[in-house]
Structure 1
Amino acid sequence: MSLSTTDTDTSRIVTVNANRIDAAMAIQFKDDMRGQTEDGPDRVILDLSGVDFIDSSGLGAIVAAMKQLGEGRKMDLAGLTPTVEKVFRLTRMDTVFRLFDTVEQAKNA
């Protein structure tokens, strides 16, 4: 799993450079997210614009990544493709995460 990060004054943007987050990648995703977010700003923006498919394992991995941020830190999601956004809405995870159409909108929120 390839992740890249960019820091702003108030956020760390983590971009997923893969088109799937599924059972085969979930553990690696969680481990990589821990490494990318164990320090830094209190807000993490997860850029999912390159992700076309997510299954329940991938969804669980994103929730686990949010929980491992610790108290006082938060994760927002940006750039969800229609298929991925549908998974978040059907599972009501859109009530857990703030969803933004673009990274730019998330940065300005």
Structure 2
Amino acid sequence: MQLNTRSENGVEVITVDADRIDAAVAISFKDRMRESLTNGSGRFVLDLEKVDFIDSSGLGAIVAAMKLMPQGSKLELAGLTPAVDKVFRMTRMDSIFVIHPSASAALGA
């Protein structure tokens, strides 16, 4: 599982460079997120624009990553593909996370 992190205007943007977040990669994803979250604080944007599929293990890994964040930090999501967006809405996870149409929209917010 490859994650790329960049800092822009005081916001840490974490881009998932994979087409799936499922049971096969959930533990690896959570470990990489832990590494990315320790390098910053404040506002984080998880860019999921390359992710075409997510299952319950993937959702759980994102929630677990959110719980690992430093006190006072915030995790927002961006770039959800239609299939991934549908999963977030069906599970009501869209009420937990701020969701932006893209990473650039998140940076402008």
TM range (shorter): over 0.9
Measure the CA separation in 1 of the matches of 2:92 and 2:70: 22
Give TM-score, length-normalised by structure 1.
Answer: 0.97
Structure 1 residue 71, shift from structure 2 partner = 2.0
Measure the CA separation in 2 of the matches of 1:71 and 1:95: 20
The answer to whether residue 86 in structure 2 is matched with residue 82 in structure 1 is no
**Aligned ranges 1:26-37 → 2 under 5 Å:** 26-37=26-37
The answer to whether residue 46 in structure 2 is matched with residue 46 in structure 1 is yes
The gaps in structure 1 that reach 5 residues or longer are none
**Moved >6 Å (runs of 4+):** none
The gaps in structure 2 that reach 5 residues or longer are none
Measure the CA separation in 1 of the matches of 2:107 and 2:65: 19
Give TM-score, length-normalised by structure 2.
Answer: 0.97
Structure 1 residue 9, shift from structure 2 partner = 2.4
**Aligned ranges 1:1-109 → 2 under 5 Å:** 1-109=1-109
Paired residue secondary structure (2:28): helix
CA contact (8 A) 1:10 1:41 kept: no
Question: What is the identity percentage for the equivalent residue pairs of Structure 1 and Structure 2?
Answer: 55
Measure the CA separation in 2 of the matches of 1:75 and 1:89: 17
When structure 1 is superposed on structure 2, of 67-76 and 81-90 the one drifting more is 67-76
